[in-house]
Amino acid sequence: MRAMTSSAPIAVLADLDAYARAVDTAVAAAAAYYAGGETTLDDATYDALVRGIEAYEAGHPGQVLANSPTGKVAGGAASGDVAHSAPMLSLANVFSEAGLTAWAAGLERRIGRPVAGWHVSPKLDGLAIAARYREGRLVQLVTRGDGASGEDVSHAIGTVVGLPERLGRDETVEIRGEVLMTHAQFEDANAARIAHGGAAFANARGAAAGSLRARERGYAVELTCFAYDAVPVAGSSEEIRAADGLGHGRLMALLAELGVRTTAATPVPGRGAATLEEVRERVAEIAGLRAGLPFGIDGIVIRADSAADRESAGAGSRAPRWAVAYKLPATEKITRLLGVEWAVGRTGVIAPRAVLEPVLVDGSTITYATLHNPGDITRRDLRIGDHVLVHKAGDVIPRVEAPVLGLRTGREQPIAFPAVCPECGSAIDTSEQRWRCVRGRDCRLVASLTYAAGRDQLDIEGLGGSRVVQLVEAGLVTDLADVFTLTREQLLTLERMGGTSSDKLLAAIGVAKTRPLSRVFCALGVRGTGRSMSRRIARAFGTMDAVRAADAETLRMVDGIGAEKATLVVAELLELAPLIDRLAAVGVTMSEPGGAVPVGSAPAPATEGGGREGAGDPDGADGPTAALPLTGLTVVVTGAMTGPLEALSRNEMNALIERAGGRASSGVSARTTLLVAGERAGSKREKAEQLGVRIIDPDGFAELLDGLLG
């Protein structure tokens, strides 16, 4: 297993003028962040700039400017009037496996012996803080500042989850940790800030920094702290005084006993590592979990675990020599908003999409990003020409977070909202956050019907886009139910439709009537649901009548349905009620074979009766089996399937996995337990190998599920 690597771009500074401008830019960016949490440079650009400054200074030691950010905590931009009980330093960075290896070798040369052991933990993307407890009571909060002294932010006591106002016992100690906003806290903070007339925060890190310092504010903002150290002070107990000699893992356990939050209760707890190879494995594991975490991380911290090793290594003016941050590829970059496109989906929803100046984020060139909805654009005060922060993590669709207000020139222009539906020119229903054409699904009837007839929905062979256009233009089909009332005589009136073609299409429509509820529900295109969710809903309720009778609270019992989505599904089913009634009247199946599966239990294998001919239909074979071979497993499929699985679409593979008791996933992470790798499997296989995930070929997977395929 190998660790993830990341590139380390560097700004090339050709001469003294370029160097001086780079210093001014870096200092201004650091000052904007540490003063109010504003972002004028994204992390990757700032890091590249500082590395360029360091490289120039190494080659021109006589030209180093006094205000250079190198060698200074917080780039020299932060300060305060509360002295720290012990220096509060930053961390040096490495950006690749080679850099990590070189750093570890240098550490061992410095201490004159092999490192006794390592500790590996996530590098949380927030703001360092010192929390001072006196006899168990939290009495003061101090920012890191310049490392020697910081700013008193004790007004935030009571707003930081993880820093209890009273410890589990009456200890006197200084706890050090990282204050951040979880993704949920960030959304809540932005909603509150906008509601009180403020501009949206650009990102969670800046929001945490700005909110921690805000002294007078008409609304509450919640923060989270994860502790990473304890410093003994006058009055500390012997146990606390001995803490410096503990391994890092034991120290974190001690803090947890006191009631302080650490990462131990998260998917990325800090762990010990005996060798550098184990360090690399843990780095890869944490990196693989990054996209699914409820908070941001921008790297992994590797530290010598032994107190003796740490004492021998010592520290520089900016950072300890016994610890380093392995930086991960940036998931946020700043680029320009060039325009906004408005597209109408098959359900009539009108969605804005940002057109961006191309920017490389996390290995992908991003030219488009989601803007959520018109209300979100207004709340964030986005304008054409703005520099915007673009976020991308894992397989998540890139999104525009907020404008970088400090980079506005005054030439930016308001975003024009459509006055009528961009697709058909009808009026727009603006009563909800997501605007919608008043014609709803009728606005994109062709797209809606083509989707319903698709392979992963009703699988009506011969009813492709061009045929749907013919039927709609001829007035033969006005909704999905009309498809099931088509006659041979009607079809023969269409161009290029002879007797044989008509008979084949009618036969395919007849088979489509027998598809299970999961496919019918998916074909309806209920907003807020997709293929996997349609399967879960169908299996949870068993019949369409049961689904329609469920209220929002009942729907929330289905995995993946929250309060907002449950309410939307109820409203959608009410809107679709006439169509559903007509579909039932013409004989379309409204039940799931095998009946309802209680929420939270493994799904039982079932058949759709008249499904795709031949073995291999993922909705085939009646009745439950004695055992489900994938129970408790998270399975990812990649590459081209062969053998018994060759005919299955990716959606059918996912359905097969769920019927076998497993959970289908699209991305490989440390939570993945099995990868089915077919021909031409690429990056997902490489990542699975890095993480030590079990890999099986299609034939092996088919053999594993033999009872469900036959």
Nearest to 47 by CA among 89, 95, 103, 102: 95
CA–centroid distance for 567 within its chain:
23
Residue type (1 letter), 574 = L
From the CA atom positions of the chain, what is the Rg in Å? 29
CA–centroid distance for 84 within its chain:
36
The catalytic residue among 72, 123, 565, 687 is: 123
3-state secondary structure of 368: strand
Q: How far apart are CA 63 and CA 48, in angstroms?
A: 20
b/e map 210-221, b = 16+ CB within 10 Å: bbbbbeeeeeeb
Q: Please name every residue paired with 635 in a beta bridge, in sequence order, or none if there are none.
A: 664, 674
Compute the C-alpha angle 569/575/580, nearest 5°: 90
Residue 123 catalytic?
yes
Q: How far apart are CA 144 and CA 151, in angstroms?
A: 7
| Cα-based torsion angle of the residue sequence 264, 175, 159, 214 in order, rounded to the nearest 10 degrees | -130
Q: How far apart are CA 509 and CA 588, in angstroms?
A: 10
Residue 362 has which token pair?
């996390």
Asked if 639 and 655 touch (Cβ cutoff 8 Å), the reply is no
b/e map 314-352, b = 16+ CB within 10 Å: eeeebbbbbbbbbbbbbbbbbbbbeebebebbbbbbbbb
Give the pairing of strands 297-304 and 271-273. unpaired
Q: How far apart are CA 341 and CA 368, in angstroms?
A: 10
- Measured CA to CA in angstroms, residue 130 lies from 173, 225, 516 at distances of 10, 11, 59
3-state secondary structure of 222: coil
Q: How far apart are CA 571 and CA 185, in angstroms?
A: 28
State the catalytic residues: 123
